[in-house]
Amino acid sequence: MKKVIMGNHALSYGAMLSRAQVIAAYPITPQTQVVELLSEMCADGTLNAKFIKVESEHSAMAACLGASLAGARTFTATSAQGLALMHEMLHWASGGRMPVVMGNINRAMAPGWSIWADQNDSLSERDTGWIQFYCSSNQEVLDTVIQAFKVSEKLMIPSMIILDAFALSHTYEVVEIPEQARVDQFLPPFNPPWRLTPADPHAFGGLTSPDHYMELRYKLQKDMEKVPALVEETGKEYEKLFGRYLGQVEEYLCADAELVFVTSGTAGYTARVAVDELRQKGIKAGNLRIKLFRPFPFEKVRAILSRVPKVAVLDRNISYGHHGIFYQEVKSALYGQPSSPLVFGFIAGLGGRDITRDSFQEIAEYTLSKNRAEEEIVWIGVKK
Amino acid sequence: MSKKKEAKKIVFESEKEMPAVPMSLGSMLYNKTGAWRNIKPVIDLSRCIKCGICWKFCPDASIDIVDDWPQINYVYCKGCGLCAEECPQKCIAMVEEEK
Amino acid sequence: MSKERKMTLTIPREEYMSPGHLACQGCGASLAMRLALKGLGQKTIVCIPACCWAVIDGPFPHSSLDIPIYHCAFETAASSASGVRAGLDMVGDTETTVLAWAGDGGTFDIGLQALSGAAERNDDIIYTCYDNEAYMNTGIQRSSATPIGAWTTTTPVKHYKKERKKDIIGIMAAHGIPYIATASVAYPEDMVKKFKKAREIKGTRFIHVFAPCPAGWKSRPEDTVKLARLAVQTGYFPLYEIEDGEKWTLNLKVKERKPIAEYLKLQGRFRHLKEEEIALIQQEVDARWARILKHCGL
């Protein structure tokens, strides 16, 4: 069934079709429609789930974790300040191996108050041990939720599904809503390898000495390393049933490109239009959109970018005192490779400023005119 | 449950033996807290009225009921002296531990 | 000598807490857990945030309880328990009792918001605060449950605590939850009865357990039960219940309350107090006692 829905509702439908059993959430702009629709679904019986209307995001994640450890499939959604408030519990989720799936609407961090798109909220949670997917269409949002549950539950690692504030969260697009029976076929009920039950009592998360802590973290990393292959495998299985492939990255005209943009989120969509325009002008541009950011898709990125002369990484975020975060990560992935491109870093679109086709024209002109990255950061659109 | 009750310390030789989460696989019975003790309670059963008060108040669950009599479990008793203090018959003496 | 007599057991014989745990000698909190579980039974899941019990239970991969434990974040005893309850309901286990077991810091201070949230939603959990009146696990720092006059490492003798203990029961009563009770490790029968009663009630239940701490109170380990008893007998920690936010019942009518000085003098944390300061504390205890009697219609 095709429906015209907003990005936030794509998250809700994804959670519904995945048969989330416990949802605990707290409202924050621009996430509210996600939980409004889910609470309606719970109220009218469309979704058989307990919705805990908590008093904070911290409690939202805490409640999700308790429910997950009790053996229930859990979902929540938040944004920016709410995600930051959850920070402690994000570590708890991964360290406790609780496969919660969460939608995060990328919104700039205050102050000054901003409700508009920016990736600093989710990227500040980069090191919390969550799988991170960045989406660029409502269809991708819905499809990612369902696949994220499968990947997360297989490895017992939580997943975050990330979409830009307004540019995606409030934008209506045509979305194919899969049939419930086929989703059930793809995603079986959650059956964790351990759970809280008096029938088999265990204490979870107790005091862990230096004798054991490191091994537990080693195991988390080893399982994290299995994610890319599992995303591919799960993606193929999903494609067979629903005809759409997710994967780790989206490659657009990179094979013969002299310049490849590295993008994420909705900017990745704009980049494709810019690539088409540049190609009409005779410039062989391409776009590599990172969908899976954690774990980082090293192999894909290396395979695609090592044959390209120039790469321009666009960041809608900044690590103050360093670079844009995708820029850091791409450079780190390419360092020491037998052949690697010249990589340039651009920051644009902070706090919801538009990233347009013109932004990419500017980036392309700059990149093609330089033989080395002269500036640590190239700012796009700052009123200097 | 039976596995939990073993008084054996679980030692992992390799990460492969460990669960992915920090979860308990055995009880604390391996931890013989009797070693913490400097003074030990000794019950004079000849004066005991079996009121159950010593058993009831033991914070370490270290007074057992054996054949209907209270019996200090010296493997775990930490020697806090609560039982002696609360005994209405004053038939529990705290005796210096010989080490 | 009474060989024929049966041993008197006024509380259930079953033990759900093993010896070998890591509590200090004479720990009120470990006695509290032992008694609470005798009331609740094995079909209980407990959420334990950062507090002494996070350590007492023992290190991974061991535990001293025969029930499942979720060691959760400091401020999340209530929200974790709400989640566990919802999760259990969704996987078809409506029988198991979900217990949140937090110290006074985790209840009066950092966990108060989550507790208020759970109580307002009337989530089906038993929240127990075992109160040893300071952050004992981190080394005796003052909490908002530390009583007026007390020494702690952050309220040194020269600047002993000047503020009153927060009225947590008043706060919980204002939520109108179905069951609130105070309990003391010195009154095991009353305490076990209250946990049994709470188990049969639906909604948020709050039990405030008085749990002396020899290490933090600078008291003798053998005085733990004596101190808890004196707290009740002086009217410092009365035993009472509040049902549906309205019905107050005094469970132990102390006819002649002992002077608070008797309770204070057994504890090093109050050693610095002068007579006039003790008199002020006595006044406060009297006023609170009168308030509770009034609520109970006595």
CB within 8 Å: B4 and C21? no
Check if CATH label 3.40.50.9100 holds for domain B31-96.
no
| Tokens 């390419």 found at | A334
Q: Name all chains with 3 or more CB-CB pairs below 8 Å to chain A.
A: B, C
A170 part of a folded domain = yes
What average pLDDT does the segment A276-286 reach?
A: 98
CB C110 within 8 A of CB C55: no
Q: A289 and A142, same structural domain? A: no
Q: A200 and A54, same structural domain? A: yes
What average pLDDT does the segment A286-290 reach?
A: 98
Tell which of A65, A216, A221 to mutate to test the B interface (max B CBs under 10 Å).
A216
- pLDDT higher than 90, residue C224: yes
| SS (HEC) of A304-328 | HHCCCCEEEEEECCCCCCCCCHHHH
Domains of chain C: 28-295 (3.40.50.970)
Q: A290 and A263, same structural domain? A: yes
Q: Write down which residue in A241, A275, A292 finishes a domain.
A: A241
Q: A372 and A274, same structural domain? A: yes
pTM of the predicted protein model: 0.97
Domain positions in chain B are: 31-96
Q: CATH number of the domain that A335 lies in?
A: 3.40.50.920
Strands C97-103 and B92-96: unpaired
CB within 8 Å: A220 and B20? yes
Q: A195 and A132, same structural domain? A: yes
Tell which of B9, B14, B16, B21 to mutate to test the A interface (max A CBs under 10 Å).
B21
Q: How far is A92 from chain C (nearest CA, A)?
A: 8
- Reported as type and span, the H/E element at residue A182 is helix A180-186
Phi-psi region of A25 (alpha: psi -120 to 50; beta: other; left: phi over 0): beta
pLDDT for the residue B4: 47
Calculate the alpha carbon distances from B95 to A247, B59, B99, C165 in Å: 72, 19, 12, 39
pLDDT digits (tens, 9 = 90+) for C69-115: 999 999 999 999 999 999 999 999 999 999 999 999 999 999 999 99
Q: A331 and A194, same structural domain? A: no
Instruction: Pull the structure tokens for residue A235.
Output: 């993606």
* Cβ-proximal residues to A169 (8 Å cutoff; 6+ apart), any chain: A6, A7, A8, A30, A31, A33, A105, A163
Amino acid letter for position A167: A
- pLDDT higher than 90, residue C230: yes
Tens digits of pLDDT across chain B (99 residues)? 344 477 899 999 999 999 999 999 999 999 999 999 999 999 999 999 999 999 999 999 999 999 999 999 999 999 999 999 999 999 999 999 886
Q: CATH number of the domain that A146 lies in?
A: 3.40.50.970
pLDDT digits (tens, 9 = 90+) for A218-234: 999 999 999 999 999 99
Nearest-Cα residue of chain A relative to residue B22: A205
Q: A37 and A160, same structural domain? A: yes
Is the CB of residue C15 less than 8 Å away from at least one CB of chain B? yes
- How many alpha carbons lie under 13 Å from residue A260 in its C-beta half-sphere? 30
Strand partners, A285: A259
A384 part of a folded domain = no
Q: A364 and A322, same structural domain? A: yes
Range of the domain at A326: 250-379
A236 part of a folded domain = yes
- pLDDT higher than 60, residue C14: yes
Cβ-Cβ contacts under 8 Å, B61 against chain C: 15, 17-19, 34
> What ipTM was estimated for this complex?
0.97
CA angle A242, A244, A247 (to 5 degrees): 130
Nearest-Cα residue of chain B relative to residue A218: B15
Q: Give the single-character DSSP code of C166.
A: P
The pLDDT-based confidence of C3 (bands split at 50, 70, 90) is: low
Q: A99 and A56, same structural domain? A: yes
CB C84 within 8 A of CB B49: no
Can you tell me the distance from the alpha carbon of A89 to that of C72, in angstroms, rounded to the nearest whole number?
Answer: 9
CB C177 within 8 A of CB C117: no
Q: Give residue A119's Cα distance to chain centre.
A: 10
Can you tell me the distance from the alpha carbon of A39 to that of A10, in angstroms, rounded to the nearest whole number?
Answer: 14
CB within 8 Å: A202 and B12? no
- DSSP string across C97-146: EEEEEEEHIIIIITTHHHHHHHHHTT-S-EEEEEE-SSBTTTTSB--TTS
